Structure 1
Amino acid sequence: MIKDLKTLRDEIEVIDKEMIKLYLRRMEIVKDVALYKQENGMEVLDRSRELELLDKTSSLVPEKDLRGYYRELLEKQMELSRDYQRKILGLKTKVAYQGVEGAFQHIALREIFEKCEENSYLTFEEVFRAVSSKEVDLGVLPIENSSTGEISEIFDLLRKYNCYITKVHSLKIEQHLLGIKGAKICDIKEVYSHPQGFLQSSKFLYGRGWKEIPYHNTAVSAKYVSDQKDKTKGTIGSYETASLYNLDILAESINTNDQNQTKFIVISSEKPKTGDTCALILTVPHESGSLMKIVDSIGKRGYNMLNIKSRPVKNVPWEYFFFIEFQGDMDNSEELIEELKENSLSFKVVGRYQKPEGIK
């Protein structure tokens, strides 16, 4: 016979009190571990050790149905332990970005985070890998420009990796033509930039006969032009980039749209639990009305769909996945999420965050 609810809750409360004692004991040991790592020059995160322990410890749970839950509990405890170690040691949050100092992603990072440990990577995918593997805590990446549209690779990587959008941030982008000290516009024969820089400045560049050479990002191209010390080479970048790499501004505000803005996302390996906006990636059956079912489900439950984009599924010709953002009461969205899953072939929540004013 099942005990009454009050008795069951009382028993859970007794167990919880016992767990407090074990928790305090565990965190005392975590503190000693942090000090040992500091003394011996070791990193706080040892991911291979964590994965080994997760596999080993969760396998000890006799009830197979509960092993996954225990593993999730232990992984969260490991995350809290790392945070506590960093706090004890006075360490900053590790944040990754693509490019070098002075890149627009670096500028956005500094607007979002007052204090953090900045980690630079060569490609967008390397940022995703670093966040996914917990090499860093967070990553900052561009996802869409108001003039040239989405950065398609980011959507592919959101689908590929277990990373989540936790924040969005808008940065006004002002592009300038830069050259080495003493250079003039009439000297320029080659211009280096990220492809987005060329697209955003296409009206200024049109008909000048300059060779446009794509680079990893605007700051990397600025560093290259600075290092070459060649008056015939120009680059597209910001005031910050010009100052950082000792370049002259040959032409100001060359971007075609004077309201040019880029939306940046902050990604984490931890699934966010707060915010009024949800981001999904899904595929639907190749049947009439299948996508409309998704759109209708969002609307009929009182949610506002903010965005829908399609991207080709790699290695599957003429198949597409959809990125969808919608806004509303996310704390009570379980029924909607289940309905969307039922009407999808594949389904993945890739973010939850607060939508800032001014970002559509």
Structure 2
Amino acid sequence: MKKLDLLEIRTQLDGIDREIVELFEKRMRLSGEVAEFKIETGKPVYDKEREMQKIDSVTGMVDGGFMKQAVSELFTQMMTISRHYQYKLMAEHGLKGEETFQPVKTIPSSDVRVVYQGVEGAYSHAAALQYFGSDASVYHVGTFEDAMKEVESGRADYAVLPIENSSAGAVSDNYDLLMKYSNYIVAETFLTVNHALLGLQDSRQEDIRTVFSHPQALMQCSEFLNANRDWKQISVENTAVAAKKVIEEGNPSQAAVASEIAARLYGLKILESSINHNKLNTTRFIILSNQRIYREDAQKVSISFELPHKSGTLYNILSNMIYNGISMIMIESRPIPGRNWEYRFFVDMEGNLSDPPIQNALKGISEEGRNMRVLGNY
């Protein structure tokens, strides 16, 4: 048998590709008819059992481990594309899923009570004043969970919680609290963090033996702190609590890593300014309400969902964004309590809940994932 040259091989491949495209178009037309049937009957787009049967069927048509894997991936992607096409058709028929969030012109910010964790002088305090103004009615509680409880119960209109730092990363505990309480993100604010080493008025830097602060603040200043090998670093609830502890205990060998605002509030001396190694260090704070509202001009959607510990599940879920042209801004994962090696994912993406692409993506994620929640649009 004569061996084909490269040109002949490419000519045959081009012919096969034309046939594949024609068959793919035919397959998608039939998928559209499936969507029409599901619209009439109210059936969900995603049929996991049917798709598994299809994969088993097509992989049984080929021999060899590589070819079976390749065919499995090929048909998995075709069925994914088919689902997205069906979601689009269903959206065009007005089937967008439950719309429980209400758009508003502005987020009410006057005559409101705002809660934050910590004490006066904490960065959360500064973030609250930055967003709501210096005349806002703000008060503090002991823990982040206390702040969530205040909002969920209605005792506070809003809570201000840190969620992410540009140096230290996610505030993991607060992601978990978003799942535990029925509060929603309605806004965010970014606060530049500038840590200082604070001591008593008669303290000198060479006197210091113990430094108190929040764990993330200690991490953000680790280069400066670790250069002083004799210093013991102790974690406390937040930076302002550290400052308060130093002034109350009156020990000249103790210092706090906190803001210069805390130094003024508690009468401490600034032993060293700007000790965080990243001078662009910024913390993102979220503003939480118990109301399902979003500004009409909101441009970021935050969601959470769960996935089984199985190859390809995250890729398939994220394809709902890819095929709808949605940009993902952030993804974070947290272990699901009581279910080893299974994870809950938190995703921020660009868009507004009124946008058809966002609605299509959320419908797909809701059907294909587990326990999908919209955490807010802001």
* TM-score under structure 1 length normalisation: 0.72
Secondary structure of the 2:293 match is: coil
Counterpart position of 1:340: 365
Pick the aligned partner of 2:254 from 233, 242, 250: 233
Amino acid at match of 1:189: R
Amino acid at match of 2:368: N
The answer on whether the counterparts of 2:301 and 2:352 sit within 8 Å (CA) in structure 1 is no
Pick the aligned partner of 1:104 from 116, 123, 130: 123
Once the two structures are superposed, the pairs formed by residues 149-228 of structure 1 within 5 Å of their partners are: 149-208=169-228, 209-228=230-249
Amino acid at match of 2:138: E
1:263 aligned to 2:284? yes
Amino acid at match of 1:350: L
Counterpart position of 2:324: 301
Once the two structures are superposed, the pairs formed by residues 273-288 of structure 1 within 5 Å of their partners are: 273-274=294-295, 275-288=298-311
Aligned length: 269
Q: Deviations over 1:205-246 (max 9, x none)?
A: 114221111111110110110112211010011110000000
Distance in 1, matches of 2:167 and 2:327, equals: 24
Identity %: 36
Return 5+ residue gaps in structure 2 as ranges. Answer: 1-97, 103-107
Counterpart position of 2:144: 124
Amino acid at match of 2:207: D
Counterpart position of 1:292: 315
Distance in 2, matches of 1:210 and 1:255, equals: 16
Q: Deviations over 1:114-150 (max 9, x none)?
A: 2321121100001111111111100001001111111
Q: Which aligned runs of 4 or more in structure 1 are off by greater than 4 angstroms?
A: none
* TM-score under structure 2 length normalisation: 0.68
Q: Deviations over 1:85-117 (max 9, x none)?
A: xx9xxx820101000010000001110012321
Counterpart position of 2:163: 143
Alignment RMSD (CA, Å):
2.0
Secondary structure of the 1:331 match is: coil
Secondary structure of the 1:257 match is: coil
By how many angstroms is 1:153 displaced?
Answer: 0.3
By how many angstroms is 1:329 displaced?
Answer: 4.4
By how many angstroms is 1:286 displaced?
Answer: 2.9
Distance in 2, matches of 1:108 and 1:266, equals: 10
Secondary structure of the 1:286 match is: coil
Q: Deviations over 1:190-214 (max 9, x none)?
A: 1111111100000001142211111
Distance in 1, matches of 2:214 and 2:236, equals: 5
Counterpart position of 1:7: none
Q: Deviations over 1:236-293 (max 9, x none)?
A: 1111000000000001111011111111110111112331111001002333221112
Q: Deviations over 1:18-54 (max 9, x none)?
A: xxxxxxxxxxxxxxxxxxxxxxxxxxxxxxxxxxxxx
Secondary structure of the 2:187 match is: strand
Q: 1:329 to 1:158 in 2, by over 3 A?
A: closer
By how many angstroms is 1:328 displaced?
Answer: 2.4
Distance in 1, matches of 2:294 and 2:278, equals: 36
The answer on whether the counterparts of 2:308 and 2:343 sit within 8 Å (CA) in structure 1 is no
Return 5+ residue gaps in structure 1 as ranges. Answer: 1-68, 77-82, 354-360
By how many angstroms is 1:345 displaced?
Answer: 1.6
